[in-house]
Chains A and B, each alone.
Chain A
């Protein structure tokens, strides 16, 4: 068990450090296909206006922005409206058209905007990401390959405040980033809805995004559908920063319970072996093992292994823009120590709290309102 955890961790580090295929250089005079960017909004996340503003002057010849909110009362409505009014040079629309196609509120929120999108190439982009000017070119270049059906990105966590926020950021920048890359490298794509580029004409082949409204993890299912069509899902080389903002410890915990239970309902067997891959568990077994064969001090070997584990995570952290200092280590270690208790909490229960609703999960990620 110890060795499995260690091997996977080493593999993750190698994959994380693996040089990307050099497609960075874009040939000159290339045609950049126009993109419709869908921005489903819900409430005022921290820094919403700044986040959305990063989409106003992207280095891309032709794109449109389609903001959508579920109701006029939503505070995000005013924010988006203001942005559109202040920037008449941008092709942007704000769509308020609540529909009820299934229990997934995000899909319901953006279905009308999706229908109104003028371009075949569609990007679903969450409200809490902040991108740099070259973002659209970075991700759309993969779509020139006709075998590629979808491009997604690793999300890095920035501006995490409060204990929950800090834990969330370190989680995204270490464990999560490493696993995303590892899964993609081994042909098990795991799409993140925060940045999802695909063609409407491709989505039409699996019934359009309407079909996804019945799943809680619409992003994961979209990736599965693309694969079932025989197309590839690729991971863009640059991470997309997500603003975490202030989170209480409880927020962090509940968020992970939610995603953990979705994961459990979707890939149950993978969920079962997860504990073996947690650093604290793996190092604990390692320490016991070393004590039996070498009669070493288990506390010392445990701590030494944890240190090595952290050092192996450093490249991943640096890639996500984290300074690997002592503080980062402490937050990292706290997050790692919580992984197993969290897993136990996830294991017992099938309901999730989401946007004020209590939802029940069925096998495969189907949603039923509890």
Chain B
């Protein structure tokens, strides 16, 4: 049984922690797998270009370094913590309208992918590259931030296009996604260490990238709220050690063969 987080940012986009710092953060807490998923913006829109110039997105230029550092950090994470690090990106289509904005996560990537074009084509392209596609925070995140509703508005048409839809992002659980029949995943969208207290995915598979991605595709997973005592000032006195799972709020994935022993 292992805890996993498949939506994490680093200083390669708008995260505040370097990749090695992220690896240590999760590794020291005994996580079994994480995916680093920095933003890639659109190459043709003004917002996308500006984000690239401001260093808020991965670009074609920084991408080779990103992949190399992920590779060496995956080795270090395995050596030190027996933790799997999966290379990913969050292809980010940002428009002034929330209804035209969409964030798509690709896990297990091997080369640069662009966020240009229609979301259906992007999702297809991700799978063609042997990676898996996830619809990130598809509904109202309940926070004061840019919202991305485009995928949710086309959910009937795109239901098969994604391997999973985020049922939770950060500390928010999305009832719309939870009550749907779409395949699901829960992630933190971590940008700073404090985001460690958030929803995570629990897997029961071999600690190997392919086995992990396969569990997502086959929906052999469940979701847990993880409370991090070290970075959580409210609950810091309750728990010893780094973190704990909040058992009372775990949800059964609609397709997964949920194991009772988790609870």
A205-B72, A211-B68, A269-B53 as given contacts; A228 in contact with B61, CB under 8 Å? no
Q: Which B residues from 36 to 69 make CB contacts under 8 A with A? A: 52-54, 59-62, 64-65, 68-69
Contact B53 A211 (CB under 8 A): no
Contact B60 A228 (CB under 8 A): no
Q: Which A residues from 212 to 257 make CB contacts under 8 A with B? A: 214-215, 221, 224-225, 227-230
How many whole Å from B218's CB to the nearest CB in chain A? 34
Residue B158 interfacial (CB < 8 Å): no
A228-B11, A228-B69, A269-B53 as given contacts; A364 in contact with B18, CB under 8 Å? no
Contact B20 A211 (CB under 8 A): no
Q: Which residues of B contact A363 (CB under 8 A)?
A: 52, 59-61
Residue B80 interfacial (CB < 8 Å): no
Q: Which A residues from 260 to 312 make CB contacts under 8 A with B? A: 266-269
Residue B21 interfacial (CB < 8 Å): yes
Contact A206 B60 (CB under 8 A): no
Residue A157 interfacial (CB < 8 Å): no
Residue B12 interfacial (CB < 8 Å): yes
Residue B19 interfacial (CB < 8 Å): yes
Q: How far is the CA of A228 from the CA of B11 in the complex (A)?
A: 7
Residue A365 interfacial (CB < 8 Å): yes
Q: What count of chain B residues pass the 8 Å CB interface test? A: 21
Residue A172 interfacial (CB < 8 Å): no
| B52 nearest in chain A by CB position | A363
Q: Which residues of B contact A227 (CB under 8 A)?
A: 11, 18
Q: Which A residues from 326 to 370 make CB contacts under 8 A with B? A: 362-366
Contact A206 B65 (CB under 8 A): yes
Q: Which residues of B contact A230 (CB under 8 A)?
A: 18, 20-21
| B21 nearest in chain A by CB position | A230
Interface residue SS majority, chain B? helix
Q: Which B residues from 66 to 81 make CB contacts under 8 A with A? A: 68-69, 71-73
Q: How far is the CA of A207 from the CA of B10 in the complex (A)?
A: 18
Interface residue SS majority, chain A? helix
Contact B61 A204 (CB under 8 A): no
Contact A229 B62 (CB under 8 A): no
Q: Which residues of A contact B53 (CB under 8 A)?
A: 267-269
A228-B12, A228-B19 as given contacts; A221 in contact with B65, CB under 8 Å? yes
Contact A228 B65 (CB under 8 A): yes
| A210 nearest in chain B by CB position | B68
Interface centre among B11, B21, B64, B72 (most CB of A within 10 A): B64
| A268 nearest in chain B by CB position | B53
Q: Which residues of A contact B54 (CB under 8 A)?
A: 269
How many whole Å from A177's CB to the nearest CB in chain B? 25
What mask results when residues 140 to 176 of chain A are scored 1 for a CB within 8 Å of chain B, else 0?
A: 0000000000000000000000000000000000000
| B64 nearest in chain A by CB position | A211
How many whole Å from A188's CB to the nearest CB in chain B? 11
Q: How far is the CA of A276 from the CA of B61 in the complex (A)?
A: 28
Q: How far is the CA of A112 from the CA of B231 in the complex (A)?
A: 46
Q: Which residues of A contact B69 (CB under 8 A)?
A: 205-207, 225, 228-229
Q: How far is the CA of A215 from the CA of B52 in the complex (A)?
A: 17
Interface centre among B11, B52, B60, B68 (most CB of A within 10 A): B68
Q: How far is the CA of A293 from the CA of B72 in the complex (A)?
A: 61
Contact B61 A215 (CB under 8 A): yes
What mask results when residues 84 to 110 of chain A are scored 1 for a CB within 8 Å of chain B, else 0?
A: 000000000000000000000000000
Q: How far is the CA of A143 from the CA of B236 in the complex (A)?
A: 37
| B20 nearest in chain A by CB position | A230
Contact A364 B64 (CB under 8 A): no
How many whole Å from A261's CB to the nearest CB in chain B? 14
Contact B72 A365 (CB under 8 A): no
> Can you list 16 pairs linking A and B with CB atoms under 8 Å apart?
A207-B65, A207-B69, A207-B71, A207-B72, A211-B64, A215-B61, A221-B61, A225-B65, A228-B11, A229-B69, A230-B18, A230-B20, A268-B53, A363-B61, A365-B61, A366-B61
* B interface, CB within 8 angstroms of A: 10-12, 18-21, 52-54, 59-62, 64-65, 68-69, 71-73
* A interface, CB within 8 angstroms of B: 204-207, 211, 214-215, 221, 224-225, 227-230, 266-269, 362-366
Given contacts A215-B61, A363-B52, list 10 more A-B pairs with CB under 8 A: A205-B72, A206-B65, A206-B72, A211-B64, A221-B65, A228-B19, A269-B53, A363-B60, A364-B59, A364-B60
